[in-house]
Amino acid sequence: IMAHSSFPYYTLGTIVHGLGRGGKELGCPTGI
């Protein structure tokens, strides 16, 4: 699985899907 390549896209999709929840789970800053 290319998690490194599809990380940006995957992260963006997750954040948009669950603003805050997805970001918190991923450990990414959800300041969008």
Task: Please state whether the predicted TM-score (pTM) of the whole model is above 0.75.
Answer: no
CA distance 20 to 28: 9
Are residues 31 and 15 in contact, defined by beta-carbon separation less than 8 angstroms? no
pLDDT tens profile 2-30: 555 555 555 555 555 555 554 455 555 55
pLDDT at 26: 55
